[in-house]
Structure 1
Amino acid sequence: MASHPHSEKQARPNTPGHRPSRWLTTFVPILIVVAWFVAAGIGGPYFGKVDEVSSNDQTSYLPASAESTQVQKRLGGFTDSDTVPAVVVVTRADGTVLDKGLLARAGSALEQAVGQIPGEASASPLVASQDGKAAEAFLEIPQGDDIGAAVDALRSQLRNDLSGELTVHVTGPAGFTADLLEAFSGIDGILLIAALGAVLVILVLVYRSVLLPALVLVTSVFALCVALLSVWWLAKAGVLLLTGQTQGILFILVIGAATDYSLLYTARYREELARTASRWRATTVALRQSLEPIAAAAGTVIAGLLCLLASDLNSNSSLGPVAAIGIVFAFLAALTLLPSLLLIAGPAAFWPRHLDAPQGSSAGLYGRVGQLVARRARPIWIGVVIVLVAAAACATQFRASGVPQSALVLGSSDARAGQQVLSEHFEGGDGSPAFIITPAATMVEVGTIVREHPGVAAVTVTAAEAPTGSAKLTAQGVESAIPGSPAPEPTISDGSVLIQATLDQPADSAAAEQTVRQLRTALGSKALVGGVTATDIDTNDAAIHDRNLIIPLILVVVTLILMALLRSIVAAVLLLSTTVLSFFATMGVSALVFNHVLHFPGSDPTVPLYGFVFLVALGVDYNIFLMSRVREESGQSGTREGILAGLASTGAVITSAGIVLAATFAALAILPILFLAQLAFIVAFGVLLDTIVVRTLLVPALSYELAGVLWWPSHHGRGLGGGARRTDASAPGGPALSARRAS
């Protein structure tokens, strides 16, 4: 039962010794808070400016050596402007044939709409399909930051002008880009509101305090503001590539990590404040006790993220430093801003709750869990391992070979609907051809190889003199579209020509990818093959390469950090093994949910990589929080009693931290993007699994079983009753240990 606050204060004697100066205890905390307030005030407005330095162009993600990247860089030599293609497709609402009057009306509306697009936008005439039920036109929209706005304006005006009988869709690369940008549009507002709201509710339930949740939330928000300020300027200078998904992950990671670190510090500060009336002493002791585990946890996440620098994909390699910068500021805020705020507030931060003294390892829920572990350690860890292995076996069903571009956006997508209409009435690859660059001398030979492939519907060569900008390429060479007219000369850049191959399947389909792979094989060194389909292929191939390279690299790095922190090989291997098993169990459950519940079409190859980075790095965090406390307690009372004391003292705070992190990552599912929705489920479920099951049951039970060799090769905890297995269930964490810790 909680004692009266007055009696508690009397029970907490002041520690004798030198009293620190008022300048140190008052003005330094205030200066720290003011410095963070100023920095956050500068960084806050940058939330509305992220679009100025971010990019969602998939070709910018690829390395310079990728074939599709090389083609993209050379396209400017064959066209007058840097544009993104779009396809406008028109049908009758009732699905019947379009008559000449409706075609003329649609053509006139299209001409007016294109004329209002800023820049040098252009459109081809509307061409009816063979069945007469649809018409298409090809547009070239100037590439830039406002491509999404240009497509949205085009859609809006066409629908207003052609409402009633006609249905209009804007698809192609520009249409899909606009849909993706719209899906990311809620990242600055709704995502942050959802994440912060979830964290606030959890903090109120955890602390049952008026002021403390606000202080922790301020710490997280200020850390994010300063991190975004740093990242923005680095992206502005071209040092980092900032994308929509990187931005979303940065927001969530900083909020979650800063809150987690704040929870751990607050727990130690509350313990010390319950023992002493001196705020300064409580602060210095809590900082000293929290610094090593929080620094190790942050260092593990940073090291794991920086392993992404080895990635071939620029989007992956840039995520590493961007997220690492976020973790740095989360760490700094949790150990400078929050301690200063709590030092200023003192016990009032916890009002109306009382500051009860620590109750020992047998008290509370996690004390009772510890007693269960002490009695049944072997059955517990064997049972948990069996369940996790069974779940991990389903990880083989996780499909991560890539998804069509049309599946990236969840929910409604005008570009996807337009692509379906195109596939019904035209060649599937209209508007997104394969670009093939070859020397002019081999133009006919390469054109013949391409044209004879069964997956290619039409072959043209770029010719500036042709009315449509391209001319038909046959076995005899270039042909004029107008009978009897001379054939236009193909455009030559650096001795090469640009051949465009329209595929008979949608550009983002598996069949189209197979066609492009076969064309690359057939052409060999004669040509470079790029375009939308080739970019998807190169992106998936690079992502698979990254996954196979970076996951083992992260394992090595994290293992070395754990060995250095715990000064033990056995404990480090135990923690990492349980975390990896938890990851594969999570992937198995995710495979079942994605395939049979949510019916997702598959996953991007980077999803398992990102899931591994976050779950291993963050999962090890919780094990670090637990085992660093276990090591501390083991030095006083032996390994087995230290395990139970460490579990009892960290159980509640680590579980709270895990719930916070799971809630923040779950907020990513608000954005209608397949990649983020899958990542949200994987990390949220994995963190809860690791926090509630692995860290609460599996790690303590295994550690208890291996107590005699847990700290090998060091002799830590030996000679204090930690080596021999206790048979008395009431012995671990009994009154003697509680009295020793209280003293």
Structure 2
Amino acid sequence: MPDLQRRRRPGVAALVCGRRTKWLVVALWLIVFVVAAPLAQKLTDAQDNDAASWLPSSAESTQVLESSKDFRPEIITAIVVYAREGGLTVADRSRIAQDARELRTTHAHGVRGPQTQGPRFDRKASPSAAQIFVPITMGDDGWERLGPAVDSIRDVVGGSGGGLAVHVTGPGGISADSAEAFSGIDSTLLIAALGVVIVMLLITYRSPTLLLLPVIAVVAALFSAQALIYLLAAHAGLTVNGQSAGILTVLVFGAGTDYALLLVARYREELRRHEDRHEAMARALHRAGPAVLASSGTVVLGMLVLLVAEMNSTRGLGPVAAIGVAVALIAMLTLLPALLVIFGRWVFWPVVPHFGSAEPTEHGIWARTGQRLARRPRTVWAATALVLAALSLGLTQLNASGLSNADSFTGKPDSITGQEVQDRYFPAGSGDPLVVIASAGQEAPVRGAVAATPGVVRGSVGVPPGARPEADGRVILEATMTDPSDSDGAKDTVERVRDSVHAVPGAGAQVGGTTAALIDMDAATRHDNMLIIPLVLLVVLIILALLLRAAVAPLLLIATVVLSFAAALGISALAFRFVFDYAGEPTDFPLFVFVFLVALGIDYNIFLSTRIREEAVLQGTRAGVVAGLAATGAVITSAGLVLAGTFAALGTLPVVVFAEIGFAVALGVLLDTFVVRSVLVTSLFLDLGPRVWWPNRLAREDGSAGPEPESAAHEA
């Protein structure tokens, strides 16, 4: 009999967990890890966080940004702001003048000292504030050296003292503080995610030895994914930025640990049925493999749908996330099984699954839950759906219209304080102008159209300092706006300027700058929302239909996930308004939350529904529902807690968008785990019975005598 079982063992499983080949698998992964680790450390250097890497490539603001390089190197302006209540003293003026002289001699990290402008004082008879404009050269490594450049400026001007407030703000100062916030991705986020995984695995397994193996596998997967993405970014043009790098870490830890939990749970079941641990692992891979593959395939394809996005940042996230999940899958189906077989049963200590021992899930809490739900399934699912629909009403509080600079940080860095000081004494758009590029032959009417536009500071239209007056028959102009560049008022001004200059015959004028970029990003995000959300739903529906070979069950599962998404977004919006006091959400917030919740949240429905189908082949649908919930309840709950915890780790970064995405996805995963999967889906399947498999023959032949276990597994 053992020989027969080995002959029937799937080829891939035999390769992964064979008596000799398991050592080869571990050796290959060791080589991969040694090669990948140094490359993974270079991923930060390969990140492209410049504006063009986020903007839509076809947007008007992106074209202006690229064309501006013909007139001068790409620069970003840092603004040093001085202020004293009651007016600047003679000593203050002397200090400010000395700082300006020193800044003009500074060249560190791309600071263009000789082009420093100022000081400029506010227009009061007795000035209370002054500002100095310090340009910083951007380039291929501009984002990386921006922080050191601003630090060098702060070293020159010193800090506040003696009643004189001194801050470094403007686009340069704010971007430097943003870069500092993102710098925690490589350390803080990694440590937080790893800590969550270790704690949750310890709680789940109650074994200090077993938890080490999934951790080893997931760390190997992360380093391998980062190395591969680095190579693609460095040599194949893949766009990686701080946002996608952070989400990559969370996805690999969360999804990888989920797959590990499912595999280990099935392996533990098979260890009770098979004395040979190699055979037990082969059976576990054979039985759990289709669900894990379908789950990961859903996430990978869902992420790849992002490739149709207009936003460069969104489009770049697709392959980055897909690669991370795919590598995590490979690690969990090769490295982890080999390690588990090598270490043997003792790794489960102190709760070792001995051959012939009873399976505890058959009479556990989830078995009892399924039996209770079976009494009144229709009442349960109707009440649950009604509650989730009511929670969805919180969507009325969602304000996904974008965040200002001041609202983008969970704290209040120096640059934001400086911006508030600057706005009190100077035109709010100082240092962050709108940019116009037009035909040189139409410079005069274009200049006049910009100057006459409401919202543009009088006398501010002109050629930028240090720029060439003409390039390839075109001219560049800048203008200061009366409103902050990230405000709705500034957006209205840019729209008016665009209407005015586009109407100038033969000018071929284009309007860019920070505010124009925000407008173009909002338009692209709205397009992406309308296109990507239906495509993701279609992809998931097709995968479920192919996996379950049915039409009704996939539609039910999709409907429950969408309802869960709406409820999670509604609760999150209420929390953001009345608990965390966030000003709003970025425009792409609903899209990211939807993609992650649908692609990841469907995992648990896949795990449950495939097990139900496997049991339904043997004992009928309604009995199979109870058996499937009993078998998967504990592992899916653990997986949901791990995934929610890893996404919640995004909150360790001082960036509002990460905190909001982490909170909403974590909440949605918990809803999927404890409400949608365990209550709503289970009761729906119990109520509909065999009809959920229509048009599959299971809808007609429910409650069969049951084929042999091996053929049942193949059927499922």
TM-score, normalising length from structure 1? 0.89
The amino acid that maps onto 2:133 is F
- Comparing 712-721 with 172-181, greater Cα deviation is found at 712-721
Decide whether the 8 Å contact of 1:155 with 1:168 is kept in 2: no
In structure 2, the CA distance between the partners of 1:281 and 1:584, relative to structure 1 (3 Å rule), is same
Aligned to 2:192: 194
**Cα distance between partner residues in 1 of 2:110 and 2:602:** 52
Decide whether the 8 Å contact of 1:456 with 1:501 is kept in 2: yes
In structure 2, the CA distance between the partners of 1:360 and 1:270, relative to structure 1 (3 Å rule), is closer
**Cα distance between partner residues in 1 of 2:109 and 2:181:** 23
Aligned to 2:490: 512
Aligned to 2:478: 500
Question: Which secondary structure does the structure 2 equivalent of 1:716 belong to?
Answer: helix
Decide whether the 8 Å contact of 1:639 with 1:722 is kept in 2: no
In structure 2, the CA distance between the partners of 1:306 and 1:370, relative to structure 1 (3 Å rule), is same
**Cα distance between partner residues in 2 of 1:459 and 1:271:** 78
Aligned to 1:183: 181
1:141 aligns with 2:140: no
- Deviations along 1:23-78, one digit per CA (max 9) or x if unpaired, are 97333111211221222233223454333111222332122320101111111222
Instruction: Report 1:415-454 matches (<5 A).
Output: 415-454=415-454
Question: Which secondary structure does the structure 2 equivalent of 1:709 belong to?
Answer: helix
Instruction: Report 1:104-115 matches (<5 A).
Output: 104-113=94-103, 115=106
1:337 aligns with 2:335: yes
Match of 1:166 among 144, 159, 164: 164
Question: Which secondary structure does the structure 2 equivalent of 1:126 belong to?
Answer: strand
- Deviations along 1:232-254, one digit per CA (max 9) or x if unpaired, are 11111252111111111000000
Aligned to 2:693: 711
**Cα distance between partner residues in 1 of 2:252 and 2:17:** 29
Aligned to 1:671: 653
In structure 2, the CA distance between the partners of 1:515 and 1:332, relative to structure 1 (3 Å rule), is same
Aligned to 1:153: 152
Measured after TM superposition, the shift of residue 463 of structure 1 is 4.5
Measured after TM superposition, the shift of residue 372 of structure 1 is 0.8
Measured after TM superposition, the shift of residue 461 of structure 1 is 5.1
In structure 2, the CA distance between the partners of 1:350 and 1:497, relative to structure 1 (3 Å rule), is same
- Deviations along 1:555-614, one digit per CA (max 9) or x if unpaired, are 111101100000000000000100000000111101111112111111111111010001
1:542 aligns with 2:500: no
Decide whether the 8 Å contact of 1:361 with 1:645 is kept in 2: no
In structure 2, the CA distance between the partners of 1:336 and 1:525, relative to structure 1 (3 Å rule), is farther
Measured after TM superposition, the shift of residue 362 of structure 1 is 5.4
Aligned to 2:78: 86
Aligned to 1:282: 280
**Cα distance between partner residues in 2 of 1:197 and 1:392:** 32
Decide whether the 8 Å contact of 2:65 with 2:513 is kept in 1: yes
Unaligned runs of 5+ in 2: none
The amino acid that maps onto 1:198 is V
- Deviations along 1:459-501, one digit per CA (max 9) or x if unpaired, are 445558xxx558xxxxxxxxxxxxxxxxxxx812222222211
Question: Which secondary structure does the structure 1 equivalent of 2:44 belong to?
Answer: helix
Match of 1:491 among 469, 479, 491: 469
Question: Which secondary structure does the structure 2 equivalent of 1:541 belong to?
Answer: helix
Measured after TM superposition, the shift of residue 536 of structure 1 is 1.0
**Cα distance between partner residues in 2 of 1:275 and 1:582:** 37
Decide whether the 8 Å contact of 1:459 with 1:499 is kept in 2: no
Measured after TM superposition, the shift of residue 394 of structure 1 is 2.0
Aligned to 1:564: 546
Decide whether the 8 Å contact of 1:103 with 1:126 is kept in 2: no
Measured after TM superposition, the shift of residue 504 of structure 1 is 0.5
Decide whether the 8 Å contact of 1:419 with 1:506 is kept in 2: no
Instruction: Report 1:227-376 matches (<5 A).
Output: 227-355=225-353, 357-359=357-359, 363-376=363-376
Instruction: Report 1:8-87 matches (<5 A).
Output: 25-79=18-72, 81-87=73-79
Measured after TM superposition, the shift of residue 358 of structure 1 is 4.9
Measured after TM superposition, the shift of residue 720 of structure 1 is 4.0
Aligned to 1:584: 566
Decide whether the 8 Å contact of 2:120 with 2:132 is kept in 1: yes
Match of 1:596 among 553, 558, 578: 578
In structure 2, the CA distance between the partners of 1:319 and 1:24, relative to structure 1 (3 Å rule), is closer
In structure 2, the CA distance between the partners of 1:266 and 1:362, relative to structure 1 (3 Å rule), is closer
Question: Which secondary structure does the structure 1 equivalent of 2:211 belong to?
Answer: helix
**Cα distance between partner residues in 1 of 2:577 and 2:270:** 49
Decide whether the 8 Å contact of 2:80 with 2:169 is kept in 1: yes
Question: Which secondary structure does the structure 2 equivalent of 1:558 belong to?
Answer: helix
- Deviations along 1:142-178, one digit per CA (max 9) or x if unpaired, are 1123111111232234225x74443221112111110
Question: Which secondary structure does the structure 1 equivalent of 2:185 belong to?
Answer: coil
Measured after TM superposition, the shift of residue 666 of structure 1 is 0.2
Percent of pairs with identical residues = 42
- Deviations along 1:127-152, one digit per CA (max 9) or x if unpaired, are 11113111011111111231111112
**Cα distance between partner residues in 1 of 2:60 and 2:158:** 38
Decide whether the 8 Å contact of 1:636 with 1:720 is kept in 2: no
**Cα distance between partner residues in 1 of 2:17 and 2:581:** 59
Decide whether the 8 Å contact of 2:109 with 2:146 is kept in 1: no
Aligned to 1:682: 664
In structure 2, the CA distance between the partners of 1:57 and 1:406, relative to structure 1 (3 Å rule), is farther
**Cα distance between partner residues in 2 of 1:637 and 1:440:** 80
**Cα distance between partner residues in 2 of 1:720 and 1:549:** 39
- Comparing 709-718 with 568-577, greater Cα deviation is found at 709-718
**Cα distance between partner residues in 1 of 2:704 and 2:456:** 72
The amino acid that maps onto 2:61 is S
The amino acid that maps onto 1:512 is A
**Cα distance between partner residues in 2 of 1:27 and 1:343:** 11
Measured after TM superposition, the shift of residue 419 of structure 1 is 1.2
The amino acid that maps onto 2:398 is F
**Cα distance between partner residues in 2 of 1:154 and 1:31:** 55
Measured after TM superposition, the shift of residue 540 of structure 1 is 1.4
**Cα distance between partner residues in 2 of 1:175 and 1:100:** 27
- Deviations along 1:295-323, one digit per CA (max 9) or x if unpaired, are 00000001110110000011000100000
Aligned to 1:474: none
**Cα distance between partner residues in 1 of 2:248 and 2:631:** 30
Question: Which secondary structure does the structure 1 equivalent of 2:410 belong to?
Answer: coil
Decide whether the 8 Å contact of 1:215 with 1:341 is kept in 2: yes
In structure 2, the CA distance between the partners of 1:249 and 1:722, relative to structure 1 (3 Å rule), is farther
Aligned to 2:385: 385
Unaligned runs of 5+ in 1: 1-12, 471-489, 724-736
Instruction: Report 1:119-134 matches (<5 A).
Output: 119=110, 121-122=112-113, 123-131=116-124, 132-134=127-129
- Deviations along 1:170-191, one digit per CA (max 9) or x if unpaired, are 1121111101110011111111
**Cα distance between partner residues in 1 of 2:15 and 2:305:** 45
Measured after TM superposition, the shift of residue 352 of structure 1 is 1.0
In structure 2, the CA distance between the partners of 1:294 and 1:651, relative to structure 1 (3 Å rule), is same
**Cα distance between partner residues in 2 of 1:17 and 1:67:** 65
Measured after TM superposition, the shift of residue 445 of structure 1 is 1.8
Measured after TM superposition, the shift of residue 550 of structure 1 is 0.3
Decide whether the 8 Å contact of 1:14 with 1:276 is kept in 2: no
The amino acid that maps onto 1:337 is L
Decide whether the 8 Å contact of 2:384 with 2:680 is kept in 1: yes
The root-mean-square deviation of aligned C-alpha atoms, in Å, is 2.4
The amino acid that maps onto 2:20 is F
**Cα distance between partner residues in 2 of 1:413 and 1:705:** 55
The amino acid that maps onto 1:133 is S
